[in-house]
Homo-oligomer: A and B are copies of this chain.
Amino acid sequence: MNHPATLKDIAERLGVSIATVSRALKDSYEIGIATKIRVMELAKELNYSPNPYASSLRGRVSKTIAVVLPEVADSFFSQAINGIESVAINKGYHVLIYLTHESFEREKAILAEFKSGRVDGILISVSEETSSGHHVQEIIDTGVPVIFFDRVCEDVETSCITTNDYECGLKAAQHLAEQGCNRIAYLCTSPAVHISKKRMDGYRKGLEENNIRFRDSDIVLCGSNLDQNCRTIENLLKRKYHPNGLIASVEKLTTPVYLACKKLGLSIPDDIKLLSFTNLQASLILSPTLTTIAQPAFEMGAAAATQLFKRLDKKKRQPANERIVLESTLMVRESSSVAAR
Which residues does A use to contact B, with CB under 8 Å? Answer: 2-4, 47, 49-54, 56-57, 71-73, 75, 77-79, 81-82, 85, 89, 94-99, 101, 106, 110, 112-113, 115-118, 138, 142-143, 226, 252, 254-255, 258-259, 262, 280-282, 284-287
Contacts and interface: CB of A to CB of B under 8 A. Distances in A.
A285 B286 contact: yes
Contacts of A117: 4, 51-53
A128 to B, nearest CB: 16
20 contacts: A2-B143, A3-B142, A52-B53, A52-B113, A52-B118, A53-B54, A53-B116, A53-B117, A54-B57, A73-B82, A94-B113, A96-B97, A226-B281, A255-B284, A258-B284, A259-B284, A259-B285, A285-B286, A286-B286, A286-B287
A5 B256 CA distance: 50
A99 B81 contact: yes
Given A57-B57, A282-B280, A96 B96 contact: yes
A20 to B, nearest CB: 21
Nearest to A6: B116
A118 B286 CA distance: 44
A84 to B, nearest CB: 10
Contacts of A82: 73, 101
Given A53-B53, A54-B53, A99 B95 contact: yes
A59 B54 CA distance: 13
A115 B57 contact: no
Contacts of A226: 281
Given A97-B96, A116-B50, A117-B4, A286 B282 contact: yes
A52 to B, nearest CB: 5
Contact of A281 (B3, B97, B101, B255): B255
A138 B85 CA distance: 26
Nearest to A57: B53
A81 B287 CA distance: 30
Contacts of A96: 96-98
Contacts of A99: 81, 85, 95, 97
A116 B49 contact: yes
A175 B158 CA distance: 56
B255 A285 contact: yes
A116 B51 contact: yes
Contacts of A81: 72, 99
- Residue with the highest number of chain B CB atoms closer than 10 Å, among A73, A82, A286: A73
A226 B52 CA distance: 40
B4 A116 contact: yes
A282 B284 contact: no
A167 to B, nearest CB: 27
